[in-house]
Structure 1
């Protein structure tokens, strides 16, 4: 089955020819949107060329997706899909039998390893040592040798349990950590103990490391607030690899300033980019990376492989990976 594939994903220069040649080898045609964007967090622009497509890959405009009767399959080039998480879009796709997938599996391992690296860095005092090397270069033998920790027998609470949470739980298993996950609607196949709203305060109080993986939505805006930070164990570490909007950042800074939260690692903030004068940059024991958690050198190649495998499965009526609708 020959299909016209449209994309507004900006591939790295070395990846686009490979993507195009593989589509051509499979008998498909590629349309690269003239309004393509390298920012998956930015909404896709309205593009008339989408009307020619059977398949869309990237971040297509939501209204256009619903308005284009020719579309048969949509894959998003991101793990998050907040702007597509709409009842009207779900109804439209269901009525036309159009499957929608995201790329969670592409980003699960990098995000999970990113958090694991920061957890180890905080336990082993590596970040403090690095800052000391920049200045003042004190010999911090007593301060850091005897405050080092390990992940062995630590308790980790995962706020959210999708592809990233599952992978992080797998990576933590050899350390002998006790992993618990919070989910609003447990499915029963998590493989780790799961708590809901009622048991969440106790889970926060027991955790040495709290990892926020919640997606952006009206229900999660400011979800990790002052009350929930207060419920955390004194000195516990907090991580955000989900979305910046899910955390009350002034409440986090206050909890860090008081020492109740021992340290924080943030890969996502609100806003992004974080302005140079934003107080988070100087917050006590707050360590920041610039939304790079899901990135890898071969990210675009992995996205292409994920999409092409799903496209092949779609063509033969097979099971699609990371289906969200």
Structure 2
């Protein structure tokens, strides 16, 4: 397959863009006028997308609906909320247009980040950091007394996409009691599975609740006040999914009342989290700036993932991370 017009709406830096330019040959690469470096916002409307057969990046959904030659869209993100609309899905299915994501780039770093946060909570690392930045005492006995082992603990993972699956694999050596929330169980999950009706009981039992949930109509504010209120006073809530899936006011209330062991949030609503937002000062709340999916080789990995899928597209074989 030769002669495709490929539009790119994102920026990736010199090294990755050099790889992209070389890797798409012999096809034509068309760079949008206003490319974005952020996966959190769609690009402005652009004529390059309207003329393309393949689009890579975060294109404007309106352009995708209007592009007459479009055959495949590959997103530079794991999430695809802005494209998960009835209009886009109907048009893509009717015209046979494929939509793929970059989940395969982000599952490993997000899962490792979540595991790191669980271990940090178990080993009381936040308290040690606070001590070093504050009084610089030596509360050895207290830290040792409060430290726990991850092995055998009860862990609830919300969502079982690419990140949830990889996180389950990383948790396996610790022999945790794993419970998985999945809207549509498939029978291949490596642990007990609950659906929405079983969440209250699962939240009450878990010592760690780890959310990898994407944002969509069924997940917005899913982690609600009633669920948070069911959590144990020593339990931790960790979010590497999307901030909009959590009732943040309810989480803040629980933390302030010290009815939770603590929370690690890599995602919030809104983002960036305003400097005066109460979560910054909530007891036991630790925030990382939507960094879970990051790694030094992120941009190169994104481009390579697209190029690997491009080779599949050329051969007519199944695309990786296809959602439509």
TM-score surpassing 0.5?
A: yes
Indicate the RMSD between aligned Cα atoms, in angstroms: 1.1
**Distance in 2 separating the partners of 1:199 and 1:271:** 29
**Distance in 2 separating the partners of 1:8 and 1:83:** 15
1:122, distance to aligned residue in structure 2 (A): 0.8
SS in 1 for 2:24: helix
Specify the alignment match of 2:86 in structure 1: 87
1:238, distance to aligned residue in structure 2 (A): 0.2
Specify the alignment match of 2:8 in structure 1: 7
Specify the alignment match of 2:178 in structure 1: 179
**Distance in 2 separating the partners of 1:190 and 1:46:** 41
**Distance in 2 separating the partners of 1:71 and 1:323:** 16
Specify the alignment match of 2:19 in structure 1: 18
SS in 2 for 1:146: helix
1:280, distance to aligned residue in structure 2 (A): 0.8
**Distance in 1 separating the partners of 2:303 and 2:224:** 38
Deviation readout 1:225-267 (Å, 9 max, x if unpaired): 2110011122100001111111111110111122221110000
- TM-score, length basis structure 1: 0.97
**Distance in 2 separating the partners of 1:208 and 1:312:** 44
1:315, distance to aligned residue in structure 2 (A): 1.1
Specify the alignment match of 1:63 in structure 2: 62
**Distance in 2 separating the partners of 1:229 and 1:136:** 32
**Distance in 1 separating the partners of 2:30 and 2:240:** 33
Specify the alignment match of 1:107 in structure 2: 106
Question: Any runs of at least 4 consecutive aligned residues in structure 1 with deviations exceeding 4 A, and if so which?
Answer: none
1:222, distance to aligned residue in structure 2 (A): 1.9
1:205, distance to aligned residue in structure 2 (A): 1.1
1:202, distance to aligned residue in structure 2 (A): 1.4
Specify the alignment match of 2:226 in structure 1: 227
Specify the alignment match of 1:248 in structure 2: 247
Specify the alignment match of 1:126 in structure 2: 125
**Distance in 1 separating the partners of 2:178 and 2:47:** 48
1:219, distance to aligned residue in structure 2 (A): 2.8
Deviation readout 1:262-314 (Å, 9 max, x if unpaired): 11000001111111111111110000000010011111111111111111111
Whether contact under 8 Å (2:110, 2:293) holds in the other structure is yes
- TM-score, length basis structure 2: 0.97
Aligned length in residues: 323
> Where do residues 137-156 of structure 1 align in structure 2 (5 Å cutoff)?
137-156=136-155
Deviation readout 1:130-184 (Å, 9 max, x if unpaired): 1110111111112101111111000110111100000000000011111111112
SS in 1 for 2:15: coil
**Distance in 2 separating the partners of 1:216 and 1:86:** 12
Gaps of 5+ in 1: none
Q: Which moved more, 1:180-189 or 1:59-68?
A: 180-189
SS in 2 for 1:323: coil
**Distance in 2 separating the partners of 1:263 and 1:15:** 38
Does residue 239 of the first structure (1) align with residue 230 of the second (2)?
A: no
Specify the alignment match of 2:276 in structure 1: 277
Specify the alignment match of 2:45 in structure 1: 46
Specify the alignment match of 1:314 in structure 2: 313
